[in-house]
Structure 1
Amino acid sequence: MSALDAGDTVALSVDEVFALSRRILTGAGLSLPHAEAVARVITAGERDECASHGLFRLPGCVQTIQSGKMSLDAEPVITDVSPALVRADAKLAYSLLAFERAAPLLARKAKTVGVAALAINNCFHFSALWPEIEHLTDMGVAALAMTPSHAWVAPAGGHKGLLGTNPIAFGWPRPGPHPYVFDFATSAIARGDMALHDIADKPIPDGWGIDADGRPTNSARAALDGAMLTFGGHKGSALSTMIELMAGPLIGDLTSRESMAFDDGSRAAPMHGELILAFDPAIMGGGDVEAQAARAEALFAGFSAQGARLPSERRYAARARSLAHGVRTPQVLYDRILALGA
């Protein structure tokens, strides 16, 4: 591998990030199809300068692989349940291969009936949702995805973990190379970003977490050992609860508290379900695709007119830089990853 040491960081091409991730994952025992699916989303995170969802995730992936909880080579079972529903049983493996196998059928159903759902069950999930959303917008459908996690987050007014970080993501296909996409945790900050604050010994802002005694804290470590908080108080708490229900009992899968009980201290990635909805703009919009797309573009133009940033614009700018010049990852993380391979 051609990695150039630059003091505290290492330079890698995007292709090298993928190759490194695949090598570490297969070396830890993950089958090649699963390893490549996981490596694709890790590479996407690193490429788009989302540090908490890039190579930073590899050690946790290896820990999950070695936990004894997950299947390393299960073939997902895709079931055509109804005209508007696809079910993918990941068979206690990572969610990503199940998603990739089921996504074309989901998009076809959406383009046939207008809206369709994909329920992924019995899956380990660790990644951002926007790579999955972009996969669907590339097929010409709008999409909404959500998943629980572990019970790391206290509900508004509570003092201990009950909810997950519970991300939600949405994408709208647009003319040109990039869709409109947002992806965020319903916790005040993603757990990976909280962990990065802990590693850097950097204080966290008010409202991100509480300690084990339920007291507000500015220590990332105390919040990781205590509980994280939702964004927006009771509003974020309500949205997080909706995700628990829709991506849990609604699709016959675990809540974040049940996922943590399943983990039983192994410190693996959360194991639960994921719900993805796809919408066909042609059918939903009454058939006049160009007119409805023009309405959407007028809305987006309103952001630019007042100097506001559309969600995902930062990632797309980072993507262009990374594809042209490669990425830089901390030397300490790179060395840790190489040690995993050894």
Structure 2
Amino acid sequence: MCDEVVLSLEEVIDLSMKVLTLNGLSHAQAQPLARAMALAERDDCRSHGLQRLPGCLDTISHPRFNRNADPKPEEVSAAVTRIDADFGYSLLAFERGLEVLVPKAKAMGVSILAINNCFHSTALWPEVEAITAHGLAALIMNPSHSWVAPAGGSTPVLGTNPIAFGWPRKDHPPYVFDFATSAAARAEIARHRKENQPIPMGWGVDSEGRPTTDPAAVLSGAMLTFGGHKGSALATMVELLAGPLIGGLTSMQSMAFDADAKAAPCHAELVIAFDPALLGGGNIESNHEAAEALFAAIAGQGARLPSERRFLARQRSESEGIKVSRELYDRIVLLANA
């Protein structure tokens, strides 16, 4: 038997939709979540793809999760929109908020979307790309659960706290980065545990605060930030900007809210869109050339721009199909037919 199954993007979406709706998630919520996981599989971001689907069922089962959430944008000011995700997944709230965020950014030069009371388990780059598709730059961040120790400590306080940024480009995919402020994503550590593989030293400590390469020990101990005190400071910034600033939970509060249900973090998400055309002082073409010169200077010396690997994987998947391990595929099919 072949070790892989080759699927189209639509087949991955349909498979995820079957699992999610079978377990009671509304079609409106399931669709953007299924698409986000399928896009991650397409771009070879396996830790945020179908591997996340079984965990989504744990989140759907959380006593506070709203399977029929119907978020609606609320106008706060000319530049600010708030949307309460109503304790459902964040992606439906983002999609509906995007319809307001984009025209406000183009009218004001900058616009903020504050998503509150949302469960989040997917990557941020699909949201960033959705904004750059409108010719806007984007910055998105959110707390998570308190899995990460601050620099110099060994007790979890901070979340993995991802930061994602996107810059629109002509005739090229957008410049995008999306990374956790922890040394590694928690899903990546979980993948190493599942595959019985050690993790690099520096990713985390055990419950006694000792450095370890054992992924299971780190998952029961504490993860670490990247870059020592610098990553710790950035993670704290995310806690504040995507937490108290917009009326959201910190990672410690999100962990307490979870009450050991093992669901995805429930928190807030800060989304900011910038319009280069309006903010650039009318020098659209020269500003574009300056940005492209910067990218060329980086790539010209053999350095890789963020997301280049992902874009190459996307091209490969679009021509050859999305390759999913047989073991994972069989597991998901069982869930779809349970």
Query: What amino acid maps onto 1:144 in structure 2?
Result: L
Partner of 2:305: 310
- Deviations along 1:85-110, one digit per CA (max 9) or x if unpaired, are 01010000000000000112111111
- Deviations along 1:10-54, one digit per CA (max 9) or x if unpaired, are 222221111101111111110001100101100110000000000
Of residues 16, 19, 27 in structure 1, which corresponds to 2:14?
Answer: 19
Deviates more, 1:93-102 or 1:174-183: 174-183
Partner of 1:95: 90
User: How many angstroms apart in 2 are the aligned matches of 1:181 and 1:246?
Assistant: 20
Does residue 236 of the first structure (1) align with residue 231 of the second (2)? yes
User: How many angstroms apart in 2 are the aligned matches of 1:149 and 1:336?
Assistant: 27
Superposition map of 1:1-342 within 5 A: 6=2, 8-341=3-336, 342=338
Q: CA deviation at 1:67?
A: 2.4
User: How many angstroms apart in 2 are the aligned matches of 1:69 and 1:336?
Assistant: 27
- 3-state SS of 1:258 partner: helix
User: How many angstroms apart in 1 are the aligned matches of 2:189 and 2:15?
Assistant: 25
- Deviations along 1:193-236, one digit per CA (max 9) or x if unpaired, are 11111001111111000001111010001000101000000000
User: How many angstroms apart in 2 are the aligned matches of 1:326 and 1:225?
Assistant: 37
User: How many angstroms apart in 2 are the aligned matches of 1:340 and 1:66?
Assistant: 15
Give the share of equivalent positions with the same residue, in percent. 58
User: How many angstroms apart in 2 are the aligned matches of 1:75 and 1:304?
Assistant: 44
User: How many angstroms apart in 2 are the aligned matches of 1:221 and 1:280?
Assistant: 44
Query: What amino acid maps onto 1:110 in structure 2?
Result: A
- 3-state SS of 2:311 partner: helix
User: How many angstroms apart in 2 are the aligned matches of 1:239 and 1:53?
Assistant: 22
Query: What amino acid maps onto 1:22 in structure 2?
Result: M
User: How many angstroms apart in 1 are the aligned matches of 2:292 and 2:276?
Assistant: 14
Q: CA deviation at 1:177?
A: 4.6
User: How many angstroms apart in 2 are the aligned matches of 1:256 and 1:339?
Assistant: 33
User: How many angstroms apart in 2 are the aligned matches of 1:222 and 1:21?
Assistant: 31
- 3-state SS of 1:126 partner: coil
Query: What amino acid maps onto 2:109 in structure 1?
Result: G
User: How many angstroms apart in 1 are the aligned matches of 2:95 and 2:171?
Assistant: 23
User: How many angstroms apart in 1 are the aligned matches of 2:204 and 2:247?
Assistant: 30
- 3-state SS of 2:299 partner: helix
Q: CA deviation at 1:176?
A: 1.6
Runs of 5+ consecutive residues of structure 2 not aligned to the other structure: none
Query: What amino acid maps onto 1:173 in structure 2?
Result: P
Q: Is the 8 A contact 2:124 2:164 kept in 1?
A: yes
CA RMSD, 1 decimal: 0.9
- 3-state SS of 2:160 partner: coil
User: How many angstroms apart in 2 are the aligned matches of 1:150 and 1:228?
Assistant: 11
Query: What amino acid maps onto 1:269 in structure 2?
Result: A
- Deviations along 1:116-171, one digit per CA (max 9) or x if unpaired, are 11000000011100000000000111000000000000000111110000000000
Q: CA deviation at 1:68?
A: 2.4
Q: Is the 8 A contact 2:72 2:96 kept in 1?
A: no
TM-score between both structures, scaled by the size of structure 1:
0.97
Q: Is the 8 A contact 2:40 2:46 kept in 1?
A: yes
User: How many angstroms apart in 2 are the aligned matches of 1:33 and 1:289?
Assistant: 38
User: How many angstroms apart in 2 are the aligned matches of 1:335 and 1:209?
Assistant: 32
Query: What amino acid maps onto 1:329 in structure 2?
Result: V
Deviates more, 1:321-330 or 1:119-128: 321-330
Q: CA deviation at 1:310?
A: 0.4
